[in-house]
Structure 1
Amino acid sequence: MINKSRWKILAVLALFLVMAWFSISREESFYFPVQDDKMTCPKGEVEQKAVPLIGNYTRHHPLFLQLKDYFWVKTPSPYELPYGTKGSEDILLRVLAITSYTLPESIQSLKCRRCAVVGNGNRLRNSSMGDAINKYDVVIRLNNAPVQGYEQDVGSKTTMRLFYPESAHFNPKTENNADTLLVLVPFKPMDFQWMETILHDKKRIRKGFWKQPPLIWDANPEQVRILNPYFMEITAAKLLHLPMKQLRKVKQKPTTGLLAITLALHFCDLVHIAGFGYPDSTNKKQTIHYYEQITLKSMAVSDLMNCPCSV
């Protein structure tokens, strides 16, 4: 059976998703309104709705880490990964030297950022939501969730894809657009080491991962970004109320899905979500994702507490 700690996380996640959906989009749970450039931008509405969910809410933190922030740092991070960068500065410097941190001008210049966070849930299957999802300015996807063959239900546009080494698609060019930002979510120092060996074509690291990540990953370094751990900290501390300094045996951590929503709340003027939510616990044969046959029953017999999986 899935242990009590995991059910606790799932329950809190479900509650947050309900609150985020009804307080931000105010739409029925399976409906995306058609986006139109002539629509009035709800400036300030996301901030207003997010403040009750996230204490000390601010939109001033940068989305991605950049090299200059790690020279002459006056206030070093108080936390280790995944909530900070303490102890990982040396390897991080090398990774930041070969990646980038900027947002494309096409996004940066938008007067209104309408964002869709697309989860990997089974409810997207046969939803015919693809065209509606493609109309958003920013489409955020998770891990290795495929697009090819599922365009009618999930769309084809990908502005950002959040991932960690174990969830990286073996060919990032297959399921993304040419300008998709590949956003590394670092959970441990080995994640930085994996990225460095991949982009510098060094000897691959095979140990230290709960699942073997790709050994060949043909990505353009200019498209790679390193997510600011601040958003992981906020997700864990403010939404899930997890302790920042957990015992090593405690494996609770936010999912990439909830992290993506937190990121969108700090970046977008309009946030809609789709494809979130686990099947009813009584239906253990229901598949969890729209693209594969993993069920609650099969998940229960595996140790997915090690996995910061998507929703």
Structure 2
Amino acid sequence: MQKALGCTSLILTCCVLLYLVLWTNLSEQWNRIEGQIVKSGFFGKKNKHTDDRVLIMKTIITSTLSLSSGATSLYKAENLFVEHEDNTTPIQILYKKNFTKLPVWDFEDVYSQDHDARKPTCSKSLRNTEDLKIKEAFFPNIQLWLYRGQLNITEWNRLAHFNNPFGFMEYKYDEIKPAVDLIPKPKSSILLPVPESAKDGCVRCAVVGSGGILNNSKMGKEIDSHDYVFRMNGALTKGYEEDVGNKTSVFVHTAYSLYSTLLGFRQFGYDSIPQNEGIKYVMIPEGLRDFQWLQGLLQGKEASGDFKGVRPLSFFNGHFNESRFYVLHPDFLRYIRNRLMPSKQLQDNTWALYRPTNGAFALFLALHTCDIVDAYGFITEDHHKYSNYYFEKFKKTSVIFYINHDYGLEIKTWKKLHESGVIRLYQRQENMSTSRVT
């Protein structure tokens, strides 16, 4: 009997010792992972949100990923992180086809923050809006820019859960990482400084789309009177200055929009992208081809993939300057989709096709970098009265509601922002003497 008790005691002692060894080893592994998370571009400096975000990542590592949509993950979460040289490897690739609607992860509404973001002193700034819904949805310190040093494997494993352009779903780490590592870090996260002439500290911006509502509008002088002017896509001004002005401070584009508009709008006289002195170029990384374009652009060579044989640098006609070139962060783009423009399309099997238009991204970029924003050439309820583009003088075409955009939602969004006083939307039936630009 005593011998049996002695054996049982010895076995229990061994079990306790083994448990302590395993627990110590697991704790050390977690501490290493947690340290990487806090150091990653996702968290930046430690702040009041850091502990919550580490808790989120700890949950991902130790349990099966859950989707608020009711779907289950395609793999066990403990397989997300595998021991390697730096303790982690990229998660297995997720495919859009395996989700019947937008997968909503536990960390879906968590975004990188910029602690050096501009602190407006303008009393008319969006941050002072009295619209509680807009105020609640708005993140003034959202990370706007993607650049070298931000993308490590921990950050990749977060962003790889979101479809493009909101993340890197379906892509490989070694397809994206080399391009991101070439993107220069902005000298300042503030895109547009307050002009010395602005005694009230307000930055006034115009965002100009290509809508036919501007044809014969005579808005050119008013547009150019703003401190800064945003344009995007086929930003044709030559010959149309009276209606749209000729000033461009920020040009927003994707690789495809830059390439295709020069081909498609050449018949209207659009033979080069805007190249005003001091202009800032902002790129929307729409997909893999944009990162292939970026590599060609920033290395001064031909692009690969869809743009094989094309030299991106040639599109800038010698005016490209890395210090004036910016790439939007996937978190900013996802934040726009999730909080400011959530389409019903995200709930059906075409969810992965939807994204806001380049004009929408440009307008919200302006709202995060300016204080007073006026929008021209954006779609309105009476869009059917006008041609698709303001430069169509002879053969007019109508707006085509492509499935990758929700134009109905954009109409409602611009109207809501206008009625709330967040923007002033140019509409032909308005009495334009009420312009707030001085």
Shift of 1:98: 4.5
Q: Is the contact between residue 124 and residue 202 of structure 2 (CA under 8 Å) also seen in structure 1?
A: yes
CA distance in 1, matches of 2:130, 2:145: 24
Shift of 1:185: 0.8
Instruction: For residue 374 of structure 2, give the secondary structure of its aligned residue in structure 1.
Output: strand
Residue number in structure 2 paired with 1:34: none
Shift of 1:115: 1.5
Residue number in structure 2 paired with 1:122: 212
Shift of 1:100: 4.6
Q: Is the contact between residue 211 and residue 390 of structure 2 (CA under 8 Å) also seen in structure 1?
A: yes
Among candidates 179, 187, 193, match of residue 94 of structure 1: 179
**Partner amino acid for 1:196?**
Q
**Partner amino acid for 1:128?**
K
Shift of 1:174: 4.8
Shift of 1:122: 1.0
Residue number in structure 1 paired with 2:376: 274
CA 1:92–1:289: 2 relative to 1, 3 Å: farther
CA 1:266–1:112: 2 relative to 1, 3 Å: same
Residue number in structure 2 paired with 1:30: none
Residue number in structure 1 paired with 2:145: 64
Tell me the alpha carbon deviations over residues 157-182 of structure 1, each in whole angstroms, 9 at most, x when there is no partner: 21111111221154996523121111
Residue number in structure 1 paired with 2:361: 259
Larger relative contact order (CA 8 Å, sep ≥ 6): 1
CA 1:281–1:149: 2 relative to 1, 3 Å: closer
Answer with 1 or 2: which has the greater Rg.
2
Q: How does 1:179-218 map to 2 (within 5 A)?
A: 179-205=278-304, 207=306, 216-218=314-316
Q: How does 1:1-311 map to 2 (within 5 A)?
A: 41-49=122-130, 51-53=132-134, 55-71=136-152, 76-77=158-159, 78-85=161-168, 87=171, 90=174, 91-102=176-187, 107-110=192-195, 111-168=201-258, 170=262, 174-205=273-304, 207=306, 216-218=314-316, 220-222=320-322, 223-242=324-343, 247=349, 250-277=352-379, 280=382, 286-292=386-392, 293=395, 295-296=397-398, 299=400, 304-305=402-403
**Partner amino acid for 2:366?**
A
Instruction: For residue 247 of structure 2, give the secondary structure of its aligned residue in structure 1.
Output: coil
Q: If each structure's helix is expressed as a fraction of its own residues, which one has the higher value?
A: 2
Shift of 1:189: 1.5
Q: Is the contact between residue 251 and residue 306 of structure 1 (CA under 8 Å) also seen in structure 2?
A: yes
Instruction: For residue 207 of structure 1, give the secondary structure of its aligned residue in structure 2.
Output: helix
Q: Provide the identity percentage.
A: 28
Q: After superposing the two structures, state which structure 1 stretch, 253-262 or 239-248, moved more.
A: 239-248
CA distance in 1, matches of 2:189, 2:342: 33
TM-score by length of 1: 0.69
Q: Is the contact between residue 289 and residue 305 of structure 2 (CA under 8 Å) also seen in structure 1?
A: no
CA distance in 1, matches of 2:281, 2:141: 22
Shift of 1:264: 2.1
CA distance in 2, matches of 1:280, 1:228: 33
CA 1:122–1:82: 2 relative to 1, 3 Å: same
**Partner amino acid for 1:79?**
F
TM-score by length of 2: 0.51
Runs of 5+ unmatched residues, structure 1: 1-39
CA distance in 2, matches of 1:173, 1:49: 42
Paired residues, number: 264
Q: Is the contact between residue 53 and residue 238 of structure 1 (CA under 8 Å) also seen in structure 2?
A: no
Q: Is the contact between residue 158 and residue 177 of structure 1 (CA under 8 Å) also seen in structure 2?
A: yes
Q: Is the contact between residue 206 and residue 376 of structure 2 (CA under 8 Å) also seen in structure 1?
A: yes
Residue number in structure 2 paired with 1:35: none
CA 1:96–1:133: 2 relative to 1, 3 Å: farther
RMSD of equivalent CA atoms: 3.9
**Partner amino acid for 1:224?**
F
Shift of 1:277: 1.5
Q: After superposing the two structures, state which structure 1 stretch, 184-193 or 165-174, moved more.
A: 165-174
CA distance in 2, matches of 1:188, 1:225: 16
Runs of 5+ unmatched residues, structure 2: 1-120, 196-200, 263-269, 412-438
Shift of 1:248: 6.4
CA 1:139–1:179: 2 relative to 1, 3 Å: same
Q: Is the contact between residue 292 and residue 305 of structure 2 (CA under 8 Å) also seen in structure 1?
A: no
Shift of 1:135: 1.9
